A and B are shown apart, each in its own frame.
Chain A
Amino acid sequence: MEKIIECEHVSKVFGDLVVLKDISFSVEKGETVCLIGPSGSGKSTMLRCLNKLEEIQKGEIKVNGLDVKSVKNVNTYRSNIGMVFQHFNLFPNYTVIENMTLAPRTLKKLSKKEAIKKAEELLERVGLSDKRDVYPATLSGGQKQRVAIARALEMNPSILLFDEPTSALDPEMVGEVLDVMKSLAKEGMTMVVVTHEMGFARDVANRILFMDDGYIVEEAPPLEMFQNPKTDRCKKFLSNFI
C-alpha cells in the first residue's frame, strides 16, 4: 500500500516545553487512523504539524511523498489537507454555501458555478440541502460540524484531519457527525482522527495510536488495543471509557 503520511522521529517544542518527543508513524492511503490519549499529550499539536499550522524542530514529515520542510507554497499544500476542528470554526459572516465556496473560489480552484454545484452535492450528502442559504448561527452543533466537514471536502483534499470533532457536541448530535465520518472512511478517504469516541475508534479505525506525554506509547488495530493493551498507561487510559 502507498504511504500518504510518514512521520519519522518528529519532535516539537514550544519554548522550553517539549510537546512531541520522537514521534514516528505512517498512514496508508484510504486508512482511518485514530489518535487517542489524555488531554495535553500532544494530539492536536501532532495534527497541526501535519498541515503546517505548526513547524517541527526535529525529524521529518512526508505527505504524499513530499517532505513538508521543502514545501514552497504552504497555501497550496494546506488546500490539499482538510481539517475539521472541535469548535467547527465556520465563518459567521457567510452563509453555509458561501462558507463552502469561499476557499475554492478565492484560490481559483473552481469557477463559481462549479464550486456551487459541488457544494450543493456535498450538502446533500451530509443531509443539509435545506440549510444552503442560512447563516451558521441558526444551525445546531451537529449541523455546524457537518457543514464544516462538507467545507473541507469541497477542496477535494487527499487527507482529512479531525481534531475532536464531536467533543463540543451535545450527546444526541454526536451520532449524526460520526455517521458522516464513517461513510467517508468506507469510501476510502484517508483520515487521521483525534477522538475520545472509543466506539467510533473500535468500529471504524484501521489502527489506533495511543499518545501520552509526547510519545506514541502504543500502536495497534482496535481489537488488539482494546482487548489487551500492552502498557499500563494505555490500560489505565482505556479504563476511563468502560
Chain B
Amino acid sequence: MIEYLNLFWKYLPMLLNGLKLTLLIALLGISIAIILGIFLCVLSISKNKILEKIASTYITIVRGIPLMILALFLYFGVIKNSMSTNSAAIIILAINASAYMAEIFRAGVQAIDIGQTEAARSLGLSYFQTMRKVIFPQAVKIMIPSLMNQSISSLKDTAILSAITVNELTLTSKVIIARNYRAFELYSYAAIIYLIVIIFLTYLSKRVESKLNYTQR
C-alpha cells in the first residue's frame, strides 16, 4: 500500500502533464465540435434538400466509424506530416463529436413547439432572428444535459487518441509502464485521475443545469 502511494507521488507530475494535454485537446475539440454541430444542425433542418442530405450523410458516416479507425485513417492516411500531432488530435476529436452534437442540437430545436416559430415569424422576425432570439435559447436549456454527456464522452474518447501518439494521459501511462512494468499501478492511477475530473465536471454541469432552470410555461 505504501509502495502504491509512493509510486503514485513519483509519477503524479508526469501524469498531470498528460492530463493537461488531455484537457486541452478535449476543450478545443469539443468547442470546435459545438460550432460544427450548430452549422450541421442548421443544414439538416433547412428546407434545402441538398444541404439536408450533405449534413445527414456526414452524420451517418462519422457516427458509423469507430473513433479508433477514424483517427488512424485520418492521421496516418490523410494528414500524415502536414500538421502537429496535437492539432490533428483536436481535429479528429472535433469531427467525431460534431456528428453527435449536431443530432443533439437538432433534437433540441425540434422539441420546441412550432407555435413559437409561428408567433415570432408573424411578428415579422426573420428565420435567423427567430432561431437566435426565440428557438435557440429555449432549445439550449433542453440540450444542456445531453451536451454535457457528449462532452464527458468526448473527454474519455481522448484516450483513444493515444493510438496516434498523442502524449495525453493514457499514452503517458503506457510509456511509464513500458519502462517499469507496473501496469496495475499506472493504469489505476490514470483511471482515478479520469474519474476525479469527470466527477468534478458532472457536478459542474448539474450546477449549470439548476441555474438555468428559470420558471417556464
A interface residues with partner B (beta carbon < 8 Å) = 51, 53, 75-83, 85, 87, 89-93, 102-103, 106-107, 135-138, 148, 151-152, 155
> Which of the segments B28-36, B67-75, B120-128 contacts the partner chain?
B120-128
Whether B76 sits at the interface, judged by CB under 8 Å, is no
Question: Cβ of A91 and Cβ of B216 under 8 Å apart?
Answer: no
Question: Cβ of B122 and Cβ of A51 under 8 Å apart?
Answer: yes
Question: Cβ of B216 and Cβ of A135 under 8 Å apart?
Answer: yes
CA distance A53 to B117 in the complex (A): 10
Number of interface residues of B (CB under 8 A): 22
B interface residues with partner A (beta carbon < 8 Å) = 113, 115-116, 118-126, 129, 133-134, 137-138, 141, 214-217
Q: Which A residues are CB-close (under 8 A) to B214?
A: 93, 135
In the assembled complex, how far is the CB of residue B148 from the closest CB belonging to chain A, in whole angstroms? 20
In the assembled complex, how far is the CB of residue B75 from the closest CB belonging to chain A, in whole angstroms? 42
| CB<8 Å pairs between A and B, sample of 29 | A53-B121, A75-B124, A75-B125, A78-B124, A81-B122, A83-B122, A89-B115, A89-B118, A90-B119, A91-B120, A91-B134, A91-B138, A92-B138, A92-B216, A93-B134, A102-B125, A102-B133, A103-B123, A106-B129, A106-B133, A135-B214, A136-B217, A137-B215, A137-B216, A137-B217, A138-B215, A152-B123, A155-B123, A155-B124
Question: Cβ of B124 and Cβ of A85 under 8 Å apart?
Answer: no
Q: A75-B124, A79-B124 are in contact. Are A91 and B119 (CB under 8 A)?
A: yes
Q: A87-B115, A89-B113, A91-B134 are in contact. Are A78 and B217 (CB under 8 A)?
A: no
CA distance A148 to B123 in the complex (A): 11
Nearest A-chain residue to B123, judged by Cβ: A103
Q: Which B residues are CB-close (under 8 A) to A152?
A: 123
CA distance A87 to B115 in the complex (A): 8
In the assembled complex, how far is the CB of residue B56 from the closest CB belonging to chain A, in whole angstroms? 23
Residue B137 contacts which of A93, A107, A136, A148 (CB distance < 8 angstroms)? Answer: A93
Q: Told that A79-B124, A81-B122, A89-B119 touch, could you supply 17 new A-B pairs with CB distance under 8 A?
A: A78-B122, A85-B118, A89-B113, A89-B116, A90-B119, A91-B116, A92-B138, A93-B138, A93-B141, A102-B125, A102-B133, A103-B123, A103-B124, A135-B214, A136-B217, A137-B215, A155-B124
Residue A135 contacts which of B116, B123, B141, B215 (CB distance < 8 angstroms)? Answer: B215
Residue B126 contacts which of A75, A77, A81 (CB distance < 8 angstroms)? Answer: A75
Q: Which B residues are CB-close (under 8 A) to A81?
A: 122
In the assembled complex, how far is the CB of residue B164 from the closest CB belonging to chain A, in whole angstroms? 42
Q: Which A residues are CB-close (under 8 A) to B129?
A: 106
CA distance A107 to B129 in the complex (A): 9
Q: Which 5 pairs, one residue from A and one from B, show the smallest C-beta to C-beta distance? A: A79-B124, A89-B119, A103-B123, A83-B122, A89-B115
CA distance A107 to B133 in the complex (A): 12
